[in-house]
Copies of this chain bind each other. A is one copy, B any other.
Amino acid sequence: MSLDKFFDTVNQDQDNYVAKLKEIVAIPSISCVAERRADTVRMGEWIIAELERLGATTKRVEPGTQQLDGQTVDLPPVVLATYGTDPSKKTVLIYGHYDVQPALKEDGWNTDPFTLVEDKEHRLIGRGSTDDKGPVLGWLCAIEAHQKIGLDIPVNLKFCFEGMEESGSEGLDAIIAAEAEGYFKGVDCVCISDNYWLGKTKPCLTYGLRGINYFGISVKGPAQDLHSGVFGGTVHEPMTDLITLMASLVDSQGRIRVPGIMDQVADLTDAEKKTYEGLDFSHADLHAALGGAKTELHADPQDTLMHRWRYPALSLHGIEGAFYAPGGKTVIPSHPIGKFSIRTVPDMDPHTVDKLVKEYLEAEFKKLNSKNTLTIICGHHGKPWVSSPDHWNFVAGAKAVERVFNCQPDLTREGGSIPVTLTFQDALKKNVLLLPMGACDDGAHSINEKVDRRNFVEGIKLYGAYFHELAAVKTE
């Protein structure tokens, strides 16, 4: 069946889609701070309204409350929706998230992060444009285009959109477990669009993800910050202890110094090594993504991909409670909290990682003979995930890519973590496909986050084509 009419409609209506993206980027749905919780809930309600406008039936699930910034706040709703219930059709469950990372103009954005702008290169710039509001909206636009030309969607759709992905998907796992035999009953496969192409031009299907363990190192000394002139040299400074501990975690070649971490990493087989040979990736792509910096750790591009996809990494993110502004404040911070995370891979176990990190840091702290008080905060977890790219769900995805982009997709893994992938796989026992919309240089979590207009528009076509290929693909 030709999809030309559908594709034409998406082309014609693309400005409407971009206007809608602008409308939702303007809602600062930052899930990690209490003061933006109302905006995050508002974003969830926008999606419910849009789904209902399109004729879906929706169910708003309240995951409960959390402690955040010293207060008890409601978690944002998980939006469930059903579009089509024909028992003769396959049913695909689509997941996305409507919350975003923090963003401040002062961080270095060229434009206001919450005002979507399009530049000369047709980049649509704004927080959430690619992570993950663009993809979430894309699915809805694909439905709208079908309705406009009276084209039947040949699969049943179920949706699950959450507002806590950037903050550990709090509350979601319990809902998925509870609905596995309820709202999600009858789902045949799952599709998630929340990652990125390997390069800037060629689409991919993704079958593996790293997990994450997030940590805080809290070192508490005096009851309040001190003047370094008055107290410097006379007290155990919490920052000195903290910085020493942070420095003990990883070296400048990226090697994790916590004993036992690397022992858990699955061996690289020859067969696996071979899969890296055909991939469309060079260090020129990496350098471009780094804005021209040639600061790669590994000489061989395949090593770079392996260290992104199948080896763990430890990143130091920053310090809460220390001086962070421009200028020269002479303060001894009383209670700094260092933040870092470990990207995890098969066969690492999150609880073992927590235990190893905690034991190591406590032992290192003991060596310091400090009178300050150490607390290791084990934050959110996401397990690593690897799937089979031979499953019919991936075959349908590959055919959809061929129809829209006229090429075979790369088969990739990802360095980032989308913990819900594994949650769906474990709870529903169904195959999960990651089908990204954005390109490698979109800058998710960074300043000047963008999605290219091409990726957004062709992504909507890809989602529609995927519906049709799913309906057609053989499941044996």
Q: Which positions in A face B, CB cutoff 8 Å?
A: 32-33, 69, 101-102, 107-108, 167-168, 196, 210, 212, 214, 221-237, 239-241, 243-244, 246-247, 250-254, 286, 289-298, 304, 307-308, 311-333, 336, 339, 341, 343, 368-372, 379-380, 414-417, 440, 443-448
Contact = CB atoms under 8 A, between A and B. Distances in A.
B322 A228 contact: no
A256 to B, nearest CB: 9
A33 B168 contact: no
Query: Copies of this chain, how many?
Result: 2
A232 B314 contact: yes
Nearest to A227: B445
A102 B329 CA distance: 8
Nearest to A319: B319
A368 B267 CA distance: 28
A233 to B, nearest CB: 3
A210 B235 contact: no
10 contacts: A33-B325, A212-B330, A221-B290, A230-B415, A230-B444, A232-B343, A240-B250, A247-B247, A253-B369, A328-B379
Interface SS of A by simple majority: loop
A304 B341 contact: no
Contact of A227 (B250, B304, B444): B444
Nearest to A335: B108
B295 A221 contact: yes
A406 B340 CA distance: 56
A318 to B, nearest CB: 3
A315 B447 contact: no
Contacts of A254: 233-234, 236-237, 240
A228 B315 contact: yes
A224 B108 contact: yes
B167 A327 contact: yes
Given A102-B327, A237-B254, A222 B290 contact: yes
B33 A326 contact: yes
Query: 8 closest pairs, A vs B, by CB?
Result: A223-B291, A229-B416, A233-B313, A318-B323, A32-B327, A318-B322, A232-B313, A247-B247
Contacts of A317: 228, 239, 322-323, 328-333
Given A224-B291, A226-B446, A243-B246, 11 more contacts: A224-B448, A229-B415, A231-B290, A234-B297, A234-B307, A235-B296, A236-B254, A240-B254, A315-B332, A317-B328, A317-B332
